[in-house]
Amino acid sequence: MKVNIYDVAKAANVSIATVSKVINNTGRIGDKTRKKVNDVIKELDYKPNLMASALMGKKTCTIGFILPDLANPFFSELARYVEDMASSFNYNVVICSTDYITEKEEMYVSLLLQKNVDGFILASGFESFEAIEKIQAMNIPIVLVARNAPGKQLNLVSINDYDAGFRATSYLIERGHQQIAIIARNIWSNRERYRGYADAMRKNGLVPMDEYYYAKESTIQDGFKSLQQIMKVSSIKPTAFFACNDLMATGAIKACKKLNLNVPEDISIIGFDNSIFAQIVEPALTTVEQPQREIATEAVQLLMNAINGDNAHQTITLKTKIIERETVKNLIL
Amino acid sequence: MKVNIYDVAKAANVSIATVSKVINNTGRIGDKTRKKVNDVIKELDYKPNLMASALMGKKTCTIGFILPDLANPFFSELARYVEDMASSFNYNVVICSTDYITEKEEMYVSLLLQKNVDGFILASGFESFEAIEKIQAMNIPIVLVARNAPGKQLNLVSINDYDAGFRATSYLIERGHQQIAIIARNIWSNRERYRGYADAMRKNGLVPMDEYYYAKESTIQDGFKSLQQIMKVSSIKPTAFFACNDLMATGAIKACKKLNLNVPEDISIIGFDNSIFAQIVEPALTTVEQPQREIATEAVQLLMNAINGDNAHQTITLKTKIIERETVKNLIL
DNA sequence: CTGAAAGCGCTAACAG
DNA sequence: CTGTTAGCGCTTTCAG
């Protein structure tokens, strides 16, 4: 039923070695032989079994992409671009959602390692190094996305979260806001953005909200709860919120509606990611853009280089940009 | 570096056959031997190479999930559930976006076939059977999602699109709307919804918009353009729109804003999918819910059954439900 | 230029 | 109960 290399060899009156050589364009093969073999291959519609060649040390042309949650548009868009780019190299990507659970990441990594994937893109944002070390122990290339790994020699592609947080906050301050709250989650990228936020506040003689993270997850729900929570506990009410992703910003906007606060008249909000949500919500969200396509492109490119033997470790930092829409009010007039 | 079955055998003073048996729980193995081997496995952190066992005819524990566009929230949510469910069977899923291009589907299918995936879930919604036939020729299980394949013996899971279209339209009619337009795309599911729409109209003595599809793609953009287009060309302006997915509905709402039409005061809109967008847009979208989680769950379950030798072909039709929110006005008071 | 043969890591008869 | 052995389908020296 399934035709293999022997069938081709037989039909072409050559040895399997010859067939293998014409398939892989290795060794020297006479023109007539090559043509003959190719004809037979076409005729029998022969497709080499990639598992078998993988067993012989060839690539599996598959990469693992590990992320927290595919339902988060930031990640699904990222995944889309990763997949696109990978496919341009004839690679497939198996996507794994960890659901923010470390054990799942390790489980997926183990499984994919057993399946001999050629490389990993890790966007799960975990603090633990278990998975990374497991992969490195097998000498498999990794690139980390939106995360750092101090003290590790790795490929990284990310934005400068500190800087982005600083600029988002400054943007608000420049527009006259003084009471600025932050909705963040306790993960590395958000902590960096918090640092940027706090420094921007202090630099302008303002006092940052203390290092208290209200959001458990980066969801609409948690953004919704966080804003209400902050409004409730603050003695001096914030006039602006910096939400560390668009989902939470969306939730924050919803919360404002519930509290009968108008955005941006009463409360200004700036988000993060510039995912599709930013254009959908009402009012349209002013937000910090992450160049997802570039992130994905660079990540895959780096991974491919590594897979093809490039042992250098690169860190690529991409630019962010504030996309002005309708959720920030200028208090200075 | 990488430990294999021989290393384990040697360290445990047994043959590789014995190791294989304890791993796979086949044959009879003495308790002490089993323990010994298991200890060594743990100690050496041995993980069987799944490619090798796949070569021997075992499963790869990988399925291919082919969809049009991972950036469409309906599909990313679906993918999320598929992945979740698959992972509960210890399966990985490689996700492929066809971008609505038939050739890409075939290309992906070929590639994954060469990689010996155990099964496919096809949600790409194509009309062509090439890919399906290719897969069937290899005797690999498939389940089709959100699509039909008349005359084919296949596993199917979908909703009743005709019925859903009929009910969505009736919902509008019951609320007094008479000029109802539809925004659809020329794919099977949308045509079915159109049929339902048209029948509901006629049944109530109304005249359906003619079978003219304005949307090239199921995107926000195309929904935006379609509504404007329809408003421009209609002699009697519609009071309600039935958009065949939430993305297009979102675009339609945006278009209304641009045309200075209020939703739902001037124009009512009903969407389809009940993706996350429906809750985000303003006003919140009344829409027909597709039970994505169930679709995914059933699809994976069916596929697993098939992979495990169940040769029956099942068709599962899931229920839809109209989720009432704020975009439909009741004209009858 | 082409083929024979070894072997990748594993499973599955079949002996013992 | 355990080991030997023959492959799965392919790549890759190494002879010829």
Burial of B37 (0-12, 13-18, 19+ CB in 10 A): buried
pLDDT score for B111? 96
Could you tell me which CATH class the domain B161-290 is placed in? Answer: alpha beta
Helix (H) or strand (E) holding B270: strand B268-273
| B113 vs A contacts (CB less than 8 Å) | 47
Q: What does the pLDDT look like over B23-32, one tens digit per residue?
A: 998 878 888 8
From the Cβ of A10, is strand D under 7 Å away?
Answer: no
pLDDT score for B100? 85
Q: What does the pLDDT look like over A19-54, one tens digit per residue?
A: 999 999 887 888 888 998 999 999 999 999 999 999
A1 Cβ under 8 Å from any chain B Cβ: yes
What is the model's pTM?
0.92
A281 Cβ under 8 Å from any chain B Cβ: yes
| B23 vs A contacts (CB less than 8 Å) | none
Q: Which residue is nearest to nucleotide C5 (CA to C1')?
A: A17
**In this prediction, what percent of chain A has a pLDDT beyond 90?**
80
If we measure between CA atoms, which residue out of A160, A212, A197 comes closest to residue A318?
Answer: A160
Is residue A151 pLDDT above 80, yes or no? no
pLDDT score for B249? 97
Nearest nucleotide relative to B9: CA against C1': D3
B3 Cβ under 8 Å from any chain A Cβ: no
pLDDT score for B172? 98
Q: What does the pLDDT look like over B272-291, one tens digit per residue?
A: 999 999 999 989 999 999 99
What is the third-level CATH fold of B62-159+291-319?
Answer: Rossmann fold (3.40.50)
Do residue A51 and residue B55 have CB atoms under 8 angstroms apart? Answer: yes
Q: Protein A112 CA to nucleic acid C16 C1', in Å?
A: 39
Q: Protein A48 CA to nucleic acid D16 C1', in Å?
A: 28
pLDDT score for B129? 85
3 state SS for B230-286: HHHHCCCCCCEEEECCHHHHHHHHHHHHHCCCCCCCCCEEEEEECCCHHHHCCCCCE
pLDDT score for B125? 76
From the Cβ of A185, is strand C under 7 Å away?
Answer: no
- Residues 20-59 of B with CB within 7 A of strand C: 20, 23-24, 26-27, 48-49, 52-53, 55-58
Is residue A148 pLDDT above 80, yes or no? no
**Contact (CB, 8 A) for B190 and B244:** yes
| A97 vs B contacts (CB less than 8 Å) | 80, 83-84
CA distance A206 to chain B (A): 33
Across residues B80-102, what is the average pLDDT?
95
> Which comes out higher in pLDDT, residue A135 or A213?
A135
What distance in Å separates the CA atoms of residue A293 and residue B107, rounded to the nearest whole number? 23
| A49 vs B contacts (CB less than 8 Å) | 55, 114, 116
Nucleotides of C under 7 A from a protein CB: 1-5, 7-14
> Which comes out higher in pLDDT, residue B150 or A267?
A267
pLDDT score for B217? 84
Do residue B55 and residue A52 have CB atoms under 8 angstroms apart? Answer: yes
Per-residue DSSP letters for A289-313?
A: EP-HHHHHHHHHHHHHHHHTT----
A 172-211: CB under 8 A from B: none
The two domains A62-159+291-319 and A161-290 share their CATH topology (first three levels equal): yes
pLDDT score for A324? 97
Is residue B124 pLDDT above 90, yes or no? no
pLDDT score for B2? 84
pLDDT score for A142? 95
Rounded to whole angstroms, the maximal C-alpha distance in chain B is 87
What are the extents of the domains in chain B? 5-48, 62-159+291-319, 161-290
pLDDT score for B63? 97
pLDDT score for A127? 75
| B139 vs A contacts (CB less than 8 Å) | 1
Q: What does the pLDDT look like over B187-228, one tens digit per residue?
A: 888 999 999 999 999 999 999 988 666 788 888 999 999 999
Amino acid at A173: I
pLDDT score for B31? 85
Taking the CA atoms of A134, A140, A141 and A145 in sequence, report the sign of the dihedral they define. negative
Q: Protein A128 CA to nucleic acid C15 C1', in Å?
A: 50
CATH number, span B5-48: 1.10.260.40
Do residue A95 and residue B96 have CB atoms under 8 angstroms apart? Answer: no
Is residue A150 pLDDT above 80, yes or no? no
Q: DSSP 3-state assignment of B298?
A: helix
B83 Cβ under 8 Å from any chain A Cβ: yes
Q: What does the pLDDT look like over B138-196, one tens digit per residue?
A: 999 999 998 877 778 899 999 999 999 999 999 999 999 999 999 999 888 899 999 99
pLDDT score for B117? 97
Q: Which residue is nearest to nucleotide D9 (CA to C1')?
A: A52
Across residues A199-212, what is the average pLDDT?
90
Across residues B305-330, what is the average pLDDT?
94
From the Cβ of A49, is strand D under 7 Å away?
Answer: yes
Do residue B111 and residue A92 have CB atoms under 8 angstroms apart? Answer: yes
Min mean pLDDT across A146-160, A261-275, B115-129, B288-302 is at A146-160
B295 Cβ under 8 Å from any chain A Cβ: no
What count of other Cβ atoms lies within 10 Å of the Cβ of residue A320? 22
From the Cβ of A58, is strand C under 7 Å away?
Answer: no
pLDDT score for A53? 93
Q: How confident is the model at residue A272 (pLDDT cuts 50, 70, 90)?
A: very high
If we measure between CA atoms, which residue out of A252, A80, A105, A300 comes closest to residue B73?
Answer: A80
Q: Which residue is nearest to nucleotide D12 (CA to C1')?
A: A17
Is residue A197 pLDDT above 90, yes or no? yes
Q: Which residues contact A7 (CB under 8 A, 6 or more apart)?
A: A44, A46
Do residue B92 and residue A84 have CB atoms under 8 angstroms apart? Answer: no
> Which comes out higher in pLDDT, residue A214 or A108?
A108
| A277 vs B contacts (CB less than 8 Å) | 280
B 258-277: CB under 8 A from A: 276-277
| A77 vs B contacts (CB less than 8 Å) | 71
Is residue A211 pLDDT above 80, yes or no? no
Nearest nucleotide relative to A6: CA against C1': D9
Hey, what are B210's tokens?
Answer: 């003619």
Q: How confident is the model at residue B317 (pLDDT cuts 50, 70, 90)?
A: very high
